[in-house]
Amino acid sequence: MRYSIKHEIRSRIRVHLPMKRMTFREADTLDYYLQRFPEIREVHVYERTADAVIRYEGDRERILTILKGFSFEDTNVPERVYESSGREASAEYRDRIIGSILMHYGKRLLLPFRIRLIWDGIKAVKYIWRGLKTIGNKRLQVELLDAAAISAAMLIGDHKTASNVMFLLGIGDTLEEWTHKRSVDDLARRMSLNVDQVWLLTDQGEVLTDSSRIVCGDRVVVRMGNMIPFDGNVSEGEAMVNQASMTGESAAVRKCEGSAVFAGTVVEEGELTVTVTQVEGCGRFDKIVKMIEESEKLKSSLESRAERLADRLVPYTLVASAVTWLFSRNVTKAVSVLMVDYSCALKMAMPLSVLSAIREATEYGITVKGGRFLEAVADADTIIFDKTGTLTKACPTVKKVISFCEESEDELLRQAACLEEHFPHSVARAVVDAASDKGLLHDEMHTKAEYIVAHGIASHIDGKKVVIGSYHFVFEDERVVVPEGKQKFFDSLPDAYSHLYFAKEGKLAAVILIEDPMRAECADVIAKLKEQGFNHVVMMTGDSERTAAAIAASAGIDEYYAEVLPEDKAAYVERVKADGRRVIMVGDGINDSPALSAADAGIAISEGAEIARQIADITISSDDLEAIVVLKKLSTLLMKRIRFNYWTIVGFNSALILLGIAGILPPATSAILHNGSTVALGLKSMTNLLPER
């Protein structure tokens, strides 16, 4: 690609493409291309000027090489990127605001007074009708105050005030709508489907295939814990499917042959073969946006209380205006009271604060599904961590395979990988990756595999029953025994690693040693969380007592529980909540899902199981647990902002009402100060809570 450098400072470069402007689609294409490179930290593409501002790390020449390699024609962008882009909508809202300002002041300069009067009269009908509709709905809301103020101003001949009020109301509505849409779209993009590969069922068996190659009529296999990648109909199998991402319902729904299933929902139990009826890019993003907008989860309790108070104050403002007129017989003073209300500012600033905080969280790789959960994090005093994939690295590795039978270590690893590749767990991925690194092909060798949550997998290979999983599952549940003469060897296995047991026909065949070191930042994060008010930090794991004790000691965690089942984690969360604590649960696996659901706010690791991410209220990037520290800071600052907004609105508008009653402020000034402060507070609520990184 040809380009020119317009401006450059250290780690930041602004380039210009040789065109007058880009289309929205071209801008999204360039943005998508640049965002894929890890060297590039941040990208802003400006379609109107055909410029791109790039913040990067490392070598400048590498960035220039990346730019040279770009072309609109050769960049394949998933349709979902264009579908979920907010670029065109932002441009539309920006043009609407600029157009409103130009129109408002332009008509004053260019139009005669009588024409402006007719213009404003027609415009006022919309606001008056909105106010009258609230009476028809038997609810006194802020729209009624707006209608009364505009009507009163026009009746006493103060047309300038009426015009200013309508102008400021229009700007406020547009700003609120714009920020709401931008925040919701950012959240929806994080929640949108992003499945790269699926299991395609062919005549030769299951084949791992890029999702972009799937067409309508293909059959894909979805197993427990995985996301259904496409809309379709069940052609085989039975499962319980969590549809919360589409319908909002928390209870799983039974799906069997003939049932319809939807992209983005997750199989909680069982296995399905789905005949695809719609591939990606068919409106799923819009469905998610609708679900978010209709969800009460977006509202924190502080926000909800403020909005309820706003509606309750409307009648009092009307009464105050009437009383002012009765005692003073001064229409101007009565109108001054109508020009000011608490509702407008409360209903604008509170949602904007929450939605802006949710948007800001996405900049740190944090997806929050509603303001209520930010409030829960701010108030929480207890945090519970899963171990594997959460406190330890998200990418455990196979250190060694130890054979307890006549088969070679590589053959046993190949068989283990064949079983594990279908199931979503970090240890399973470690086994599959180890086989792949050794070039061990593992075409389907087994019959249908059964996944037992928090235990392991059972199946048959060459007619022999095989199991792979934890000590409890393999030796206690399945009654597997160590081969004769191998017990001493078994007892001498190193304690430094986690152990995955693989057995055939009731006898131990191999032990796979898994290296799963603690995250480097873990101890520092735990210390910071304690400083931020978490006085009860707990670790719960299905791993052995020995491994749990070592991790807890290294991380600085005082309380831990080992060899626990999923129901044990959930029961502990409920017990702690019953003691009056606010509880946060952090996990990444299917076995963490019950506890994530039971907590006041569940936090899932983004690289974990799909079901964990769907059930969780918050998702964080797997790169760094520091995101939890950021989340706590952001949540605390949001609650402070909401309280500040509340008292500022109440104090400032009360002062305006009193000054209006005293006759110090005329209606026009009251309207300008009230609406101006509302817009200013709304704009302030849109700013970031945390300092720039």
Residues 6+ apart with CB under 8 A from 588: 386, 388, 389, 390, 394, 426, 604, 605, 607, 608, 609, 612, 622
pLDDT of residue 396 exceeding 50, the answer is yes
Stretch among 271-285, 314-328, 515-529, 540-554 having the lowest mean pLDDT: 271-285
Stretch among 304-318, 570-584, 648-662 having the lowest mean pLDDT: 304-318
Helix (H, G, I), strand (E, B) or coil at 544: coil
Confidence of residue 296 (pLDDT cuts 50, 70, 90): very low
pLDDT of residue 597 exceeding 80, the answer is yes
Q: How far apart are CA 27 and CA 91, in angstroms?
A: 12
Confidence of residue 689 (pLDDT cuts 50, 70, 90): very high
Give per-residue pLDDT as tens, 23-75.
999 999 999 899 888 889 889 999 999 999 999 988 889 999 999 999 998 88
Mean pLDDT throughout 462-491?
88
Q: Are strands 559-561 and 536-540 parallel, antiparallel or unpaired?
A: parallel
pLDDT of residue 424: 62
pLDDT of residue 294: 53
pLDDT, the chain, mean: 82
Quick check: 489 and 471 in contact, CB under 8 A?
no
Quick check: 634 and 374 in contact, CB under 8 A?
yes
Return the higher-pLDDT residue of 468 and 336. Answer: 468
Torsion angle of the four alpha carbons 339, 343, 347, 350, in this order, in degrees rounded to the nearest 10: 110
Closest residue by Cα to residue 272 from 321, 320, 236, 225: 236
Q: How far apart are CA 236 and CA 104, in angstroms?
A: 63
Mean pLDDT throughout 349-365?
82
Confidence of residue 283 (pLDDT cuts 50, 70, 90): very low
Quick check: 50 and 19 in contact, CB under 8 A?
yes
pLDDT of residue 622: 63
Stretch among 162-171, 513-522, 547-556, 655-664 having the lowest mean pLDDT: 162-171
Q: How many secondary structure helices (H) and strands (E) does the chain include?
A: 24, 24
Stretch among 47-56, 246-255, 351-360, 636-645 having the lowest mean pLDDT: 246-255
Mean pLDDT throughout 679-690?
84
Stretch among 143-152, 239-248, 621-630 having the lowest mean pLDDT: 239-248
The values of phi and psi at residue 486, to 5°, are -105, 0
Q: How many CB atoms lie within 10 A of CB 254?
A: 11
DSSP state of 342: S
Stretch among 228-232, 413-417, 639-643 having the lowest mean pLDDT: 228-232
pLDDT of residue 503: 94
pLDDT of residue 260: 87
Mean pLDDT throughout 276-281?
72
Quick check: 267 and 222 in contact, CB under 8 A?
yes
Stretch among 100-109, 152-161, 190-199, 479-488 having the lowest mean pLDDT: 190-199
pLDDT of residue 679: 77
Mean pLDDT throughout 552-559?
89
Closest residue by Cα to residue 428 from 409, 391, 455: 455
pLDDT of residue 282 exceeding 60, the answer is no
Quick check: 601 and 380 in contact, CB under 8 A?
yes
Residues 6+ apart with CB under 8 A from 432: 417, 420, 421
pLDDT of residue 195: 62
Quick check: 367 and 361 in contact, CB under 8 A?
yes
pLDDT of residue 593 exceeding 60, the answer is yes
pLDDT of residue 383: 95
Q: How far apart are CA 171 and CA 141, in angstroms?
A: 19
Measured in whole angstroms, the distance separating CA 620 from the mean position of its chain's CA atoms is 8
Closest residue by Cα to residue 365 from 81, 607, 11: 607
